[in-house]
Chains A and B, each alone.
Chain A
Amino acid sequence: MAESVDAIEHRIDALRAEIRRAVATRDTSRTRALRAELRAAERDWEQAVADLADLADLSAPTGEAPVGAEPGPAGSLLPVREQVHHALTLLSVPAAPRLIAEVHAAFFGPSAPSLAANRLTHLRRDEKRSFETAPYARPYHLCAALTAAHLAPARGLIAVSTWPLERRIVGPLSPRVDFLTAAVRVARRAGTMPDGSAPVSKLLWRFATNIPGATGAPGTLDRHDTVDPQTVIRAAEAEQAVHAETDRAQRKAAADRARRQLDDVQQLFGSTLRTLQRKTA
C-alpha cells in the first residue's frame, strides 16, 4: 500500500512549516513550489483516507487476510457498472456507493479497485450521458433515486433503470423501509451461503445491530458471528410492517406525479426545480 496516512500528515506539517519560513523570507518562487507540493500531498492524504475507509470495512475482523487478497476470476474482470448492478440486484433497493461496495465484496468476492466507494460517484453522470445520446441502447442503466418532495436526484443513492419508478422514489420513510428490505435480502442470501464467511457475517451483523430484536439475545451484540439470518429476517419484517403502508402510499403518489411531469431522461436521472417549474408553468 502507499504511504500511511500518518506519514502523509507529517509530510504536510513539514511542508506547512517550510511555507511559513518561505513566506517570512519573502521567497515567492519557493513559496509557490512548496504550495504546489502541499496541494499534492493533501490530495494524497484524501486518497489514503478514502482507501483506508474502504479497506477497514472490507477486511475480515478476525485478522484473517481480507478476501481481496486472493484474486478471484469473477471479480476484477467484470466492468464496474456490472459489479454495481450485481450488488444492487441483490439489495433490490437504491443504495449508497459504500454499501454497494461492501455487498459486492462480501458476496461476489474481490471487486475491481475502481469499485472503491469514492470512485462510484461519477458513474451516474456517465450513465446519464450515455442514456441521452442513445436512450435504451443498453439493457439497463445505473440511474438515480428521486426525492418524493421535488423529484430531484436523491443525494448519494444509485438505482437501476429497470426498476419500477415507485422503487426508485425516496419519501421520508423510504430510507428506513429500504434499509429493512436490504437487511432481509442480505440475510436471505447469507442463509444460503456456507458458514464462516467473515465479510458476510459482519455485513449481516451491521444490519442486525440497528434493527430491534435482530441480534437475538442481548449481550451477544458484540459478536458478529452469532447473528442468525432467520432472526434478522423476522425482526426486519416486523419493523417493516409498521412503516410499509404509509411509505407505499407516499411513493405511489410521487411516482404518479413523476410520470405526468417528467420526460424519460428526468424520470431516470431526476429533475431540478428549474426544469420542473418550466414544465408546470
Chain B
Amino acid sequence: MELSRRTVLAGGFATLLGGTLVGCSSSMDTGSTKKNAGGNLALWCWPGGLGKSVLDDTVAHFPDQNIKYSEVGGDFKQKLLTTFNGGSSIPDITGVKGEDIASLLPQANRFVDLKTIGGDALLGDYLEWKVKQATTLDGKVLGIPIDIGPTALFYREDIFAAAGLPGDPAEVAEQLKTWDDFLAAGVELRKANPKAPIVADATDLYGTVVNQGTSRYIDKDNRFIGDQDHIRKAWDTAVKAITLKVDGRALGGSPDWNAGLDQGTVPTVTGAAWVALDIKAACKTSAGKWRVAATPSGPANFGGSFLTITKNAADPAAALEVIKYMLSADNQAKAFADAQIFPSAPAAYDKPQLKAADPFFGGQAPIEVFGPAAKNIPVAYEAPLDAAIAVHGIKLVQAGKKTSDAAWAEAVAKAKQIGKRQGVQ
C-alpha cells in the first residue's frame, strides 16, 4: 500500500469539490436569447405534471407544431436553470412549480410576458389569486396556472363519531370553524381516544396557518415581517396544539404518518387536494371511512404549478395557443380524472369528472369542499426570498427542548440573519 501525502490530498481535493457546486453553474452570458428554430415546439414538465390523456390529445391536436414533450424528473427547477445557463436546448414551453415561481419572478426577462402576446384575454378564466403568483410587481404575467392546491380537512368519520364528535362534513365544518374549535375538539377526542391526536403534526399546522394569512415573511417593500403578529399567531396555534397534548408528531409523508392514517393514530390531515392521493395510497382497511370538510379558519393553498413560455420560443403566439388548449376547463377536468391535478379554472368545477362521488370518502363529492375553498384562498405576496427566510423552530418546542418564547426568539434571529445576508431590510 503506497500512500503519499500528495496523492491522498489530491484525491480528497477531487472527491470533495468535484461533484459539488459548479456542475450546475455556467460561464455563459446571461440574457442570451437566441431563438429556437421554428418547426418543433419543445415542452417540459415533470412526471405527472400534466394529465396523460390531455397531453396525448394536445400533441395530436396541433400536428403543425410538432410538439416534443420531455418529462424531466428530479430537481426540475435546477435542471431548468442549468439549461437556461447553458443557453441551448431551452424549451419553448416549460412548467414551473408553485414553490419555485416566486424565486423566478426576478428573472422575468427569461420569459415571455403573456400580456404582450394577447394572453390578457385568457387570464380571466383562471383563479385571480393564482395568476397573481406568476405576476411580477410591475405587472408582467409569466405563467398560466396548470393546477392549484386548495386545502381541506381530511378526517376519519368513524374515529370522530366514536368520540362523540360530529361525523357529517357539514357539521364538522360548522363545529370546527376555527383552529381554537379544532384544538378544543382535539381535547375531547383525546379523552375518548388517547391514541388519536387531532393534529397530525404541529409543524405542519404552523405552515398551514401561515399559508392562510394575507402576508408572509417579507412585504412588498422587501422588509422582513416574519416577526410580526400574523406569523406569531401561527406559531402560537402550533404551540397550543403541543401544550394541549393533541399533537401527533407524525410529519406528513413519514412512516409514522403513513401507518397512522390506516390505523387511526393520524385521524386528520390538513392538506391540499392532491394529498388525497397519498392518503388513498396509505389506507387499505379505512377506505370509505374518510371525509373531507372545510379547513378550520378558512382555506389555504399548498402547491400548484404554471406553464410559461420562454424568450427562446420560436413562435410565442403559437405556444400560447397550445397552452390555451391544454389548460382549457374541459382538459383540466380530464387531467383531474387522470391524476388528481386540481383545476385552476373555476369553470372546470362543474364538469362531471369533478362532480363525481368518491367511494373512498364514503360517497362524498370532495369538490363541494374544494370548489368553494379554491375561490376563497387569500392572496398573500410571496417575495422571491420568502422560502429562504421562513421562520423555523417549532420542532424545538415540540421536542421539549426550548420554551415557546426562547425558540421563537432564536428562530426570528436566524431568519433575520439570513435576510440581512440576502439584502432584506
Do chains A and B interact in one complex?
no
Residues of B within 8 A of A (CB): none
